[in-house]
Amino acid sequence: MDICIHIQTHLPHFKYANKLICSFLELTNIITLKIPIFIIIDNNELINNFKMNYNYDYNLIYFLNIEEIINNFTLEFKEKKKDLFKKNIDIKWGAGGHRNYVAVKRTYSILELERLGYNYVWCLDSESLILKNTNIETIINFNIEKPLLTVGKNKNGIKYKQIIEKLFNYKYNNYDEISVRMNDFWFIHTKKYKHMIQLLFDIHKQPISYFMNGSEQSVYEYYLYSLYLKNKDDINLIIIEGDLHDNNLFNQIIKSNINTDLDVFCQNINNKYFNYIQSYRGDYYKECLKSNKGKEMIQKLNINIAVSNYTGM
């Protein structure tokens, strides 16, 4: 099978990555499916540290040394790890700081896994966790035929005009009705990701750390939407009426005085969205559990996996 699990981590989060791996092995059918897990770590010293502290009864767990990959990867525009971000495009998006390195690290590791023959890479932050018994084959089957892209239809969601106009040189009016970053479910079609990086090379004539100056997820989502605009059959597009980012849509329902039929709402959004991914961002999931109405909603939603910001929060 040309799919793998991608878990990116660093020393302070090794314990969270270990919990995530154990939850995969204990609560999913990953062993039966023989899907490899790749752990992406900065250098050999830290890889050895992880190996000394954590062991698994599963022989399909591998490590990627990101320093080695960056320093040796054959690309049109190369760079060394020590030289990352010495020159940057004059736009920013997302959290910035260390998060920019996370984006570059994930980009190089996705390209490396594509080079190794993996067409599909399911990326999870190390603070993610499998919450319930889950048949991950159903998630995989929903997502391998063509990329799944979820966007919001709203006025106030995440809209990065600077990515559209200055990174891709697209016209913003083709994108102004959608918002991105609805969730942290990252199921990457590696060849499309590689084509996106080549497009950015063609535009900017600079290495990856020059233009990947914020969340790579936002960049990839806008790229997929550009493919959708060219050919609607290439992308499985899901449009959410509202904004899931920051748990906004669910918070509106939880805090509203209007009597929403939760059974109908949850059934509709399950059929439209959650049945395909069974995942929701960890901190949003926890936020829902703070109220009785939120707990009732979570019980009705098809969410088995907390992705990002769960175990470390």
Tell me: the pLDDT tens digits for 245-267? 999 999 999 998 878 899 999 99
In a domain, 85, yes or no: yes
> What's the pLDDT at 58?
97
Considering the domain boundaries, does residue 292 fall inside one?
A: no
Q: How far apart are CA 1 and CA 36, in angstroms?
A: 9
Phi/psi for 242 (5° steps) reads 135, -165
How many percent of the chain have pLDDT more than 90? 94
Spatial separation of the C-alpha atoms in residues 17 and 155, rounded to whole Å: 36
What span, in angstroms and rounded, lies between the C-alpha atoms of 193 and 173?
24
98-115 and 190-204 are packed helices; what angle lies between their axes, rounded to 10 degrees?
120
Asked if residue 275 is part of any domain, the answer here is no
Q: Across the strands, what pairs with 130?
A: 305
Q: Is the pLDDT of residue 32 over 70?
A: yes
- The CATH number of whichever domain residue 31 belongs to comes to 3.90.550
What pLDDT, in 10s, does the model give residues 160-189?
999 999 999 999 999 999 999 999 999 999
Q: Please give the backbone phi and psi of residue 95, each rounded to the nearest 5 degrees, phi first.
A: -75, -25
Does residue 306 belong to any structural domain of this protein? no
Q: Which domain holds residue 41?
A: 3-245
Tell me: pLDDT of 65 over 90: yes
Q: Decide if 60 is inside a domain.
A: yes
pLDDT at 313: 67
Q: Is residue 277 part of a domain?
A: no
Which tokens in the block code for residue 110?
């996705």
pLDDT tens column, 146-163: 999 999 998 889 999 999
Give the integer Cα–Cα distance in Å for 190 and 213: 20
d(CA 166, CA 259): 44
Distance of CA 234 to the CA centre of its chain: 20
- Does some domain include residue 145? yes
User: For the chain, what is the domain count?
Assistant: 1
Asked if residue 80 is part of any domain, the answer here is: yes
